């Protein structure tokens, strides 16, 4: 049916009212909406997960005449219950920017020239063959993303790890959640949160650890506020390094000096023990103690290697270790008043309060990211507040499928879809499912992300295929890696939708189908897998990233491993992939089930989702009474002895300020999509540097004046923001990274957590000058 202009305006009018209602009344539902749409003319509504952050909001996309024309929250999706954030409400506009890549481009004499896509794919395959022949299999690599749909990552892993035989597979999720993974693995032996978003409805206390949820996970934050509105005793504590919108909405804002969250977490445990708030029965039955290496370095040098050494410890040793972390001692390190540390400890320690801790980049982008994840688990384990409704240490993710594609499919150098490359059983399983000789799968991990770009700079890697990410904005210490990628003898393939700074280093650009222009799956922060069908055709020659990989794999001679047909390849890939997880600890829903529902949480066993893992009441894989941390051989979670250690770089006389970087509500990561949505761009057109008023006054800088931010690695000139949406403490500045015209990552440091290899974008030393 055609749609008239008038009917479209009426639909927009109704949609605005629904959006306003959803903001005012979280969870509101309008059953008659569908009838109104029909009477207004010809819009078909189809479900899809939002393709921005890791929350995984369910959307309904209105499609008319092969075009997405409207979007609203899906009231049937338990994640958001009909609510969306400002990015979600404008999400369909990302499909229709004027400068979408519609044709393949190949660089000839320095210029990108339109080329038939089949010819471009021929060139990609030819260059891969040539590179492998001249430099070996470990000279080719693929760098993907937590925005990869699950079949994209699966096809990439199968091609590179299974067929070519290189572990040069990484994803930008290394930059945002690798520390969460190593935190889970070291504390529990299994990745991903034990709880779910229903914890928000049950908790009495929320502690946000360096996590500006009001801007980064606004729908979940709205659910927290809704809980507090209905239950007056509910408290939100924002524990952060700067004042944000989250702090403003919180009941209490506690500011700590960068990196000292390690000390404060230990001090909270010290207080819990001193006050006898330990859940002795839980600790006795379900916890064992460990310690690892200390003074572990920062990875700023090439070829940095680190392997932790896990040693058994005991409660007595742990108590003795915590004597260095009295609230009074930690106040001196962290700047957090001892009374505030005691207050936080009392909240965690109160047996009548259910406590949920949330964190994301603040804890993960940290040179001791694994440690701080361990330490927050320590707090929850000491008081036994875990794996029950409302009691949840909850690591949020930043990207729509960081969990689904990167963590579950295993698109990191050391991982396979089930297990790690170093494990023979995991290699055998992968070889069997992938139909490749087991010898193909290299047991040794190769390069994590930072080291992969260093290898490109050195010439150890010669070919890199980048899909769905923009590393020439996001890599820390960016100048080095841009220069490295532009060196002679490097060949870069980029699968993209819009021109970005990464296009400048590309030799071939393959136009990609985006989000609802192709069928796919995402996996969100609460172990929920979400399916979307293809709703509209992609523009021009744009092609699904999975199909690009299949086309190249066949050109490389892997027809047997990539036999699928266009009409059914996503379903066939799903059916092959879920064989890796066919056990009660991780069983996933069938294609049919996912197609019908607004997401399904795994483990999905006998038609039941698992909301709380490790608790036999909810988790079919857990056995016995109480809790069963079955990820570890002794079925016990770990409390880790991890000390405070300083940041890799900190302010000094020459560079006297901390630099913290991050995101804002309106823009998704590097802004390559949201900056093409007029209303989002207009609301935040350019990046800026937030400065404390005292520092600004000392420098003679006023709001809106131009300032140069410099580190030992580079500088950027931008506008000063004083008393804007965020307020850093004296001695710190904050810069959002969404703006490709102000590349703050030319200033940041490429230090990383030696265990997770995740860089720290939150701490380096800078100076300010008037520009």
Give the binding site for other proteins (CB under 8 A): 6, 9-10, 12-14, 16-21, 24-25, 27-33, 36, 39
CB of 20 to other proteins, least distance (A): 4
**Backbone angles phi and psi of 487, in degrees to 5:** -65, 155
* Residue with smaller CB distance to other proteins, 33 or 315: 33
**Would you say 381 and 283 are in contact if contact means Cβ atoms under 8 Å apart?**
yes
User: Helix, strand, coil: what percent of the chain each, to 5?
Assistant: 35, 20, 45
* Residue with smaller CB distance to other proteins, 1 or 20: 20
* Residue with smaller CB distance to other proteins, 27 or 584: 27
**Would you say 156 and 497 are in contact if contact means Cβ atoms under 8 Å apart?**
no
Cis? peptide before 7, omega within 30° of 0:
no
Structure tokens at 118: 């089949």
* Residue with smaller CB distance to other proteins, 219 or 473: 219
CB of 37 to other proteins, least distance (A): 11
| Cα 248 to Cα 723: distance, rounded to the nearest angstrom | 13
**Number of neighbouring beta carbons within 10 Å of residue 160:** 24
* Residue with smaller CB distance to other proteins, 28 or 431: 28
Candidates 142, 133, 762; CA nearest to 452 is: 142
**Would you say 754 and 369 are in contact if contact means Cβ atoms under 8 Å apart?**
no
| Cα 669 to Cα 690: distance, rounded to the nearest angstrom | 18
CB of 518 to other proteins, least distance (A): 32
* Residue with smaller CB distance to other proteins, 11 or 660: 11
| Cα 407 to Cα 510: distance, rounded to the nearest angstrom | 25
Candidates 66, 124, 70; CA nearest to 93 is: 70
| Cα 290 to Cα 637: distance, rounded to the nearest angstrom | 10
Structure tokens at 419: 């297990």
Residue 322: how many CA atoms within 13 Å on its side-chain side?
A: 24
| Cα 148 to Cα 534: distance, rounded to the nearest angstrom | 15
CB of 121 to other proteins, least distance (A): 46
CB of 92 to other proteins, least distance (A): 18
* Residue with smaller CB distance to other proteins, 20 or 568: 20
**Would you say 261 and 231 are in contact if contact means Cβ atoms under 8 Å apart?**
no
| Cα 165 to Cα 516: distance, rounded to the nearest angstrom | 32
| Cα 608 to Cα 592: distance, rounded to the nearest angstrom | 15
**Would you say 333 and 260 are in contact if contact means Cβ atoms under 8 Å apart?**
yes
* Residue with smaller CB distance to other proteins, 7 or 552: 7
**Would you say 749 and 764 are in contact if contact means Cβ atoms under 8 Å apart?**
yes
**Would you say 461 and 447 are in contact if contact means Cβ atoms under 8 Å apart?**
yes
SS3 678: helix
* Residue with smaller CB distance to other proteins, 11 or 243: 11
**Would you say 287 and 637 are in contact if contact means Cβ atoms under 8 Å apart?**
yes
With residue 638 as reference, give the H or E element that holds it: strand 637-641
CB of 43 to other proteins, least distance (A): 14
Residue 232: burial class (beta carbons within 10 Å; 0-12, 13-18, 19+): exposed
| Cα 148 to Cα 478: distance, rounded to the nearest angstrom | 23
SS3 522: strand
Q: Which residues are catalytic?
A: 87, 176-177, 361, 398-399
* Residue with smaller CB distance to other proteins, 74 or 517: 74
CB of 222 to other proteins, least distance (A): 15
* Residue with smaller CB distance to other proteins, 22 or 478: 22
* Residue with smaller CB distance to other proteins, 30 or 650: 30
Buried-exposed string 318-350: b where 16+ CB fall within 10 A, e elsewhere:
beebbeebbbebbbebbbbebebbbbbbebbbe
CB of 69 to other proteins, least distance (A): 16
* Residue with smaller CB distance to other proteins, 36 or 438: 36
CB of 681 to other proteins, least distance (A): 22
CB of 1 to other proteins, least distance (A): 18
CB of 27 to other proteins, least distance (A): 7
Residue 97: how many CA atoms within 13 Å on its side-chain side?
A: 22
| Cα 401 to Cα 577: distance, rounded to the nearest angstrom | 15
CB of 75 to other proteins, least distance (A): 9
**Would you say 361 and 176 are in contact if contact means Cβ atoms under 8 Å apart?**
yes
CB of 16 to other proteins, least distance (A): 4
Q: What is the largest CA-CA distance in the chain?
A: 75
Scanning 335-492, the segments in alpha helix (DSSP H) are 338-349, 361-364, 369-382, 424-434, 449-458, 471-474, 478-485
Residue 331: how many CA atoms within 13 Å on its side-chain side?
A: 9
Structure tokens at 210: 């360096």
């Amino acid at each position: 049916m055609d749609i008239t202009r008038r009917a479209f305006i009426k639909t927009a009018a109704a949609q605005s009212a629904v959006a306003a209602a959803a903001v005012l009344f979280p969870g509101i539902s309008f059953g008659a909406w569908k009838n109104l749409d029909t009477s207004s003319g010809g819009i078909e509504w189809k479900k899809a997960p939002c393709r921005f952050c890791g929350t995984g909001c369910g959307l309904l996309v209105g499609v008319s005449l092969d075009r997405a024309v409207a979007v609203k929250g899906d009231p049937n999706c338990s994640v958001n219950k009909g609510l969306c954030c400002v990015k979600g409400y404008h999400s369909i506009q990302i499909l229709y920017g004027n400068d979408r890549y519609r044709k393949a481009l190949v660089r000839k004499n320095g210029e990108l020239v339109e080329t038939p896509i089949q010819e471009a794919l021929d060139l990609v395959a030819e260059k891969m063959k040539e590179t492998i022949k001249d430099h070996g299999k470990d000279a080719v690599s693929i760098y993907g993303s937590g925005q990869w749909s699950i079949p994209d990552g699966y096809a990439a892993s199968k091609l590179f790890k299974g067929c070519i035989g290189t572990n040069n597979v990484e994803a930008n999720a290394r930059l945002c959640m690798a520390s969460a993974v190593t935190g889970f693995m070291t504390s529990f032996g299994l990745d991903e949160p034990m709880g779910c978003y229903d914890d928000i409805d049950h908790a009495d206390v929320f502690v946000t650890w360096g996590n500006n949820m009001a801007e980064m996970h606004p729908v979940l934050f709205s659910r927290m506020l809704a809980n507090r509105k209905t239950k007056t005793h509910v408290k939100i504590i924002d524990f952060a390094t700067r004042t944000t919108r989250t702090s403003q909405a919180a009941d209490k804002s506690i500011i700590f000096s960068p990196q000292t969250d390690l000390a404060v977490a230990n001090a909270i445990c010290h207080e819990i023990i001193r006050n006898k708030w330990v859940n002795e029965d839980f600790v006795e039955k379900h916890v064992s103690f460990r310690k690892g290496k200390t003074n572990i370095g920062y990875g700023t040098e090439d070829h940095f290697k680190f392997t932790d050494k896990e040693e058994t410890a005991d409660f007595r040793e742990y108590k003795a270790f915590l004597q260095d972390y009295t609230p009074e001692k930690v106040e001196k390190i962290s700047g957090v008043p001892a009374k505030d540390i005691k207050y936080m400890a009392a909240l965690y320690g109160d047996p009548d309060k259910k406590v949920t801790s949330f964190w994301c980049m603040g804890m993960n982008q940290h040179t001791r990211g694994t440690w701080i994840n361990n330490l927050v688990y320590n707090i929850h384990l000491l008081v036994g507040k875990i794996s029950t409704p409302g009691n949840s240490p909850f690591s949020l993710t930043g990207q729509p499928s960081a969990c689904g594609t990167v963590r579950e499919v295993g698109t990191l150098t050391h991982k396979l879809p089930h297990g790690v490359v170093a494990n023979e059983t995991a290699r055998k399983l992968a070889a069997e499912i992938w139909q490749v000789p087991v010898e193909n799968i290299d047991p040794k991990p190769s390069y994590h992300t930072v080291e992969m770009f260093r290898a490109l700079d050195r010439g150890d890697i010669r070919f890199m295929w980048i899909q769905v990410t923009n590393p020439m904005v996001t890599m820390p210490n960016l100048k080095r890696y841009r220069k490295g990628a532009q060196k002679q003898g490097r060949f870069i393939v980029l699968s993209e939708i819009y021109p970005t700074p990464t296009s400048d280093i590309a030799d071939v650009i393959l136009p990609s189908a985006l989000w609802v222009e192709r069928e796919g799956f995402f996996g969100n922060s609460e172990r929920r897998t979400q399916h979307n069908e293809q709703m509209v055709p992609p523009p021009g020659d744009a092609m699904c990233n999975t199909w690009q990989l299949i086309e190249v794999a066949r050109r490389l001679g892997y027809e047997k491993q990539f036999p699928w047909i266009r009409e059914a390849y996503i379903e066939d890939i799903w059916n092959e992939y879920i064989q890796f997880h066919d056990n009660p600890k991780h069983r996933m829903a069938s294609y049919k089930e996912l197609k019908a529902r607004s997401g399904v949480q795994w483990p999905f066993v006998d038609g039941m989702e698992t909301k709380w893992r490790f608790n036999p009441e909810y988790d079919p894989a857990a056995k016995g009474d109480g809790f069963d941390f079955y990820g570890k051989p002794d079925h016990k979670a770990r409390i880790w002895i991890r000390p405070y250690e300083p940041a890799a770089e900190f302010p000094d006389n020459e560079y006297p300020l901390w630099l913290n970087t991050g995101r804002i509500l309106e823009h998704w990561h590097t802004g390559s999509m949201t900056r093409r949505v007029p209303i989002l761009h207009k609301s935040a057109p350019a990046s800026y540097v937030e400065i404390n008023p005292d520092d600004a006054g000392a420098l003679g800088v006023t709001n809106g004046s131009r300032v140069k931010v410099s580190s030992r690695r580079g500088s950027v000139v931008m506008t000063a923001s004083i008393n804007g949406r965020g307020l850093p403490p004296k001695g710190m500045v904050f810069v959002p990274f969404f703006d490709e015209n102000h590349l703050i990552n030319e200033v940041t440091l490429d230090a990383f957590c030696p265990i997770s290899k995740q860089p720290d974008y939150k701490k380096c030393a800078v100076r300010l000058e008037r520009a």
